[in-house]
Structure 1
């Protein structure tokens, strides 16, 4: 009898664990490529005042999956906290640039308006972040305003990257990839741009110092509890790099190696509203591939990370460009590229996965 009970326990435990994991993590939406739609990528979320959640992403057209292929911004809605989503796309921003518009950041401003940031790409030497505002809950948008006017070049602003500080300042970090002679280079010069008038005008911060051979790309920023700004940076060398600002993003410290092991791939960091801790989502690997996709929590402002767990672990997968959004129901939505290397869909598939905030600590 005891042997039978022991056997039943051995059989039931994996089943219970699997069902617990399913309850804690749900694939809510998968945007696969199709006819005249070779790629869906780099999106972000906003919760509207009526409770609906809007996800805006880069929807490519034609046959090419290149970053420079035609694309417009499309939207899907959820009325149940991110569990289910509308079946068809709504055009949010038509293709404006000579190449495309892509890479979305959405932000609820302190004045109640919604800010929509995206890249307008005209050529391999002309790519600039743009801003539109909505005062009617994303029904209509203002005319676009360029966020960089003091320099020309190819500037990368990742999705889900713009923040508003407690002071009200809007802050973004960008990577400039063109040299003086106009050629594209992998090692980018990193800058911050900020606005103290809700996006009407923008000013440049100082360049982030980097006297090393480390390749720096695709930065993001997070405001720490002590008032400093931490910039986290996609970098070569097997780790994310960091830089800090003591003056709200106007000047920066020299880059330094973090404790976040990573390939040359972007990470995302956001503050968990229910606890005040930091959530990190990234590729936790010493290799070159963008798999697995891992989450971790920091209770000490990024000094250490715990509760480390993979949410995607397919060895043939390709996970990156993460958007983090916390819902009113104390869940967290993650929107990210989730392609497959053998099928060559690296950046073509976008997943929206829903987790409970409690499950981040398990």
Structure 2
């Protein structure tokens, strides 16, 4: 398999009013349009970091993702919240659209996280959404954008993380949150994924041809780590290195439609514990494919500017097979930290 016709362009550029556009989810609509929901952060004393106030905004593309309509606000924080986060979109069996997202009731450096997970349903292809109902209203779990998966069993699965510490003692443990009745009720799996240092972060799941699930995840251990499930995500094997060297950054995994291969997007960069942030540069942003999580074939880089970070990818395959990848990008400053602003970009290519 090879990557062909690679193009990149900006979806939403940071401005004086909005310092960051990031963490998107996309869905194919029945008329051929594309729905995208992403995090839009307001300019604030926090700059473009994770503690800034944000809303979730939506936009529609009518030309396969080349241009996007003016975004509209879908979700705002509740009074007292820090911000809103992690949009997910999934098509229900009856054709409706499930929109899952997270509220950070409280998010601050060195403090325990407090979250809420909300669901809204659209019956008109994303034009309107129902009032929110909550999976939980006050908890400590968190999940990533665009991580919801429908398995071949029809189970909807979302990897959800829980930290058993704060600050430098933070260590993330991952479980499966799943629904077997198309999003009506939810429960957690009995098994956990654990690792050293900051633990297992931001996992994404794909389904192998033999029925196993494969999860890849961010760690501080020098590589993308992997874990397998033999029971539809209820339990997981002990995470180990996938062999893909990486800094501390978010990888992405998704099944390729009509294929027994899975696409992996990650920062294929040296692990450097002495680097100023996240154990190494978040550049380049690289694509590979795998059938089993053991062997990977490199396809090439989507972005490779060494002076910028490219991270938090999300993938949508169009009906004609074209692959769209969103991600955010920010320049590094002279101390090799993100200085902002943060733009939302999109790469597109075909796999042949």
> With structure 2 as the length reference, what TM-score do the two structures score?
0.87
Runs (5+) with no aligned partner, structure 2:
108-112, 272-279
1:262 to 226, 241, 246: 246
Q: Deviations over 1:170-219 (max 9, x none)?
A: 1111121254xx77843212111111111121111124253755632111
Partner of 1:167: 153
Partner of 1:5: none
1:90 to 72, 89, 108: 72
Partner of 1:297: 289
Shift of 1:83: 2.3
Alignment of 1:1-362 (within 5 A): 24-63=5-44, 64-86=47-69, 88-96=70-78, 98-124=81-107, 125-148=113-136, 153-179=139-165, 185-210=169-194, 212-213=196-197, 215-287=199-271, 288-298=280-290, 300-342=291-333, 344-345=338-339, 348-358=342-352
Higher Cα radius of gyration: 1
Which whole-Å CA distance do the structure 2 matches of 1:193 and 1:66 have between them?
A: 27
Runs (5+) with no aligned partner, structure 1:
1-21
| Structure whose residues are more often helix by fraction | 1
Aligned length: 332
Change (3 A) 1:347 1:147: farther
Partner of 1:12: none
Shift of 1:321: 0.7
Change (3 A) 1:147 1:283: same
The answer as to whether partners of 1:336 and 1:350 remain within 8 angstroms in 2 is yes
The answer as to whether partners of 2:226 and 2:293 remain within 8 angstroms in 1 is no
SS at match of 1:232: strand
Moved more, 92-101 or 273-282: 92-101
Moved more, 155-164 or 207-216: 207-216
Change (3 A) 1:134 1:348: same
What's the C-alpha RMSD, in Å, of the aligned pairs?
Answer: 2.3
RCO comparison, higher one (Cα < 8 Å, 6+): 2
> With structure 1 as the length reference, what TM-score do the two structures score?
0.85
Shift of 1:35: 2.3
